[in-house]
Amino acid sequence: MAQRTMNEQSYRIATEYPEDKLTSYADKEALISYAEGTIPKLFAARVAASPEKIAYTQYSSPKSEWKSITWKEMGMEALRWQCSIASDHIATGTRAAIGMHNCREWVLCDQACLAAGLVVTPLYVEDRADNMAYILQHTDTQILFLRNYRLWRDMEPHWAHLPALKRVVIMTDGDELRKNTDTRLMSLAQWLDAGENHEPATHPSTQPGDLATIVYTSGTTGKPKGVMLSHTNILTNALAGLRSVTVLPEDKFLSFLPLSHMFERTVGYYLPMMVGAQVTFNRSIMQLVEDLSICRPTMMICVPRVFERAYHAILARLSGFALQLFKMAVHIGWQRFEIRQGRGQWQLSQLMWPLLDAVVAKKVRTRFGGQLRYVISGGAPLPSTIARVFIALGIDILQGYGLTETGPTLTVNTPMRNNPLSIGLPLIGTEIRLSSAGELQARNTSVMQGYWQNEDATKQLIDADGWLSTGDIASIDDNGFIRITGRLKEIIVLSTGEKIPPADVESAICEDTLFEQAMIVGEGRVCLSALLVLDNDVWQDEAKKLGVDAHDTDALTVPQVTQYLQKKVSTRLRGFPVYAKVRAVRAFLTPWTVADGTLTPTLKMKRSLLAQRFAAEIEGMYATKK
């Protein structure tokens, strides 16, 4: 009986919220038909519907200018790529891998391969060579597209383990490539020329339920697993997103999160294609701020880290009256937001907003291009303090949630139902429930087909009734908003028996601009301790106040510094229960990164690896507490 009640509640939540937004679209029947088809059919329909409209824009380094391409031109280019695939005689159903940064060539490669009946496997270009080689070997990839020759050279020790690989296409040319004697290698220009006398390899028999892609999860432990997603999995997820948040044909997206991950791929690539919105590709993360001001997007798919850095940069420049003015703008701007959400009442202080908007809020919005309608944030929890600041200043952040295994989105806040403390409401067609342990479980048409060649792992994740276990502990309030409160496997259990979800504690600590990263430890211990990475710019000023050399790593362990850091951490955790307080800290100046293996490509901490790497420091913190 309890199980049935839980199912009934989950269905009610999924169908009541959010409101269906498809009534906002002139041709909603077309959107529905796109979701019922395949990705190549979606692309062909968009080319036919908007031939002269700009599809993509990217920077051309040789000419030092931004260049745009229309949908008609994209369609013609995709046919050239299909001809070249046909010339290589790559069998239908085999795997093609893409190792490139976001660019129109990524889209062309994806569309050409899918139209040819191949299964696309994206690679994260910043990943280690052995990880990329493992994916190629595990999927028996036959054709590989790489950004440059260096990526292939880095995989040299693994070449012998890739017997299935028939063709490697390098996007650029160069002396190294021309001197290489491996007949599998060709530059993009050579490869396209070689395919000119062939017919496009198209497979219209591809069905919506057929496998479209295998996406390897950036797991925090063990080997990555290949998530199998069909055309239906992906396209119904994109359509469900449009039912929650209206995206217009006039919208402009700025694409900078890796297309190798489903968040950007579904929401920042296939979804804009459904409505015919334009996508501009960011040159690099280092140039993101500049590209925002140049491209002035109206929509953006983002991760919290972008706003965390912007928040710290803004606060670092403010003091005195300017800081007080900023805080006033946030306070009154937040009141405006709450009024729009139906959760607040108009107050006399609202009369100050036009002035505060002109001198504070508009400057912050300009930093993001000045035209953003909405930002969809996902991948990790967005700290409530940071969300409050940017929403109050007029940047509407809609936090969502999902997994690669769900295509990826499960929930999202909507413009008129936005609770920044939550991950939002279930997408239309998504059923949500909580297990007896409080674990969030979901069921919809976007749940993956399974893990590639790993049936046991699939059965552990998805039960016989199609319910997928997310591994996240959650709560659902009376209005249907869902909040993640911790990870089932990441709950820290102290020796006293108290259970603490570390993410909440870490998020609170990092609201202080001094702390760039934080990891809480304490499993089986009497109390919590913290590994902290300091923001180098902020630390320069703090070190002067403390009379220590900011560049001397030994200074981070002197008592006056550790006591100072401990005090700042305690201030951030003032509202937490006594057992959730941090009793010892150890600070570092070198950030944890994807490159050094301590973060996943989606910027999640590899906790077990970090714990191993800093085992001596952790033991040292607890030794001082004995």
Report, in angstroms and rounded to the nearest whole number, the Rg of the chain calculated over CA atoms: 25
Question: Using 50, 70 and 90 to split pLDDT, how confident is the model at 1?
Answer: very low
pLDDT: which is higher, 175 or 572: 572
| Mean pLDDT of the 571-575 span | 88
Q: Is the pLDDT of residue 482 over 50?
A: yes
Q: Is the pLDDT of residue 11 over 60?
A: no
The hierarchical CATH code for the domain 492-623 is: 3.30.300.30
pLDDT at residue number 412: 96
CA distance 203 to 338: 51
Q: Is the pLDDT of residue 485 over 60?
A: yes
Enter the tokens of residue 594: 């994807």
Taking Cα atoms as reference points, which of 587, 612, 582 lies closest to residue 597?
Answer: 612
Where helices occur in 445-558 by DSSP H, the ranges are: 455-461, 502-509, 536-546
Share of the chain above pLDDT 70, in %: 95
Beta 431-434 vs 425-426: how paired, if at all? unpaired
pLDDT at residue number 4: 35
Beta 54-60 vs 278-281: how paired, if at all? parallel
Q: What is the pLDDT of residues 419-440, one digit of tens each?
A: 999 999 999 999 999 999 899 9
CB 490 within 8 A of CB 523: no
Q: Is the pLDDT of residue 5 over 50?
A: no
Q: What is the pLDDT of residues 184-203, one digit of tens each?
A: 999 999 999 999 988 887 78
pLDDT at residue number 13: 59
User: CATH 3.30.300.30 spans which residues of the chain?
Assistant: 492-623
- 74's CB contacts (< 8 A; 6+ apart) are 47, 55, 56, 104, 107, 108, 111
pLDDT at residue number 234: 98
User: CATH 3.40.50.12780 spans which residues of the chain?
Assistant: 39-206
Q: What is the pLDDT of residues 490-526, one digit of tens each?
A: 778 787 767 787 888 998 899 899 999 999 999 888 8
pLDDT: which is higher, 170 or 626: 170
pLDDT: which is higher, 178 or 371: 371
CATH of 39-206, one of 3.30.1300.10, 3.40.50.12780, 3.40.570.10, 3.40.50.2300: 3.40.50.12780
Q: Is the peptide bond before 426 cis (omega within 30 degrees of 0)?
A: no
What pTM did the predictor assign?
0.84
Mean pLDDT of the chain: 91
Q: Is the peptide bond before 18 cis (omega within 30 degrees of 0)?
A: yes
For 241-363, list the strands marked E by DSSP: 252-255, 278-281, 299-302
Q: What is the pLDDT of residues 603-620, one digit of tens each?
A: 788 888 999 999 999 999
| Mean pLDDT of the 537-557 span | 92
Question: Using 50, 70 and 90 to split pLDDT, how confident is the model at 19?
Answer: low
CB 608 within 8 A of CB 221: yes
Q: What is the pLDDT of residues 37-96, one digit of tens each?
A: 999 999 999 999 999 999 999 999 888 899 999 999 999 999 999 999 999 999 999 999
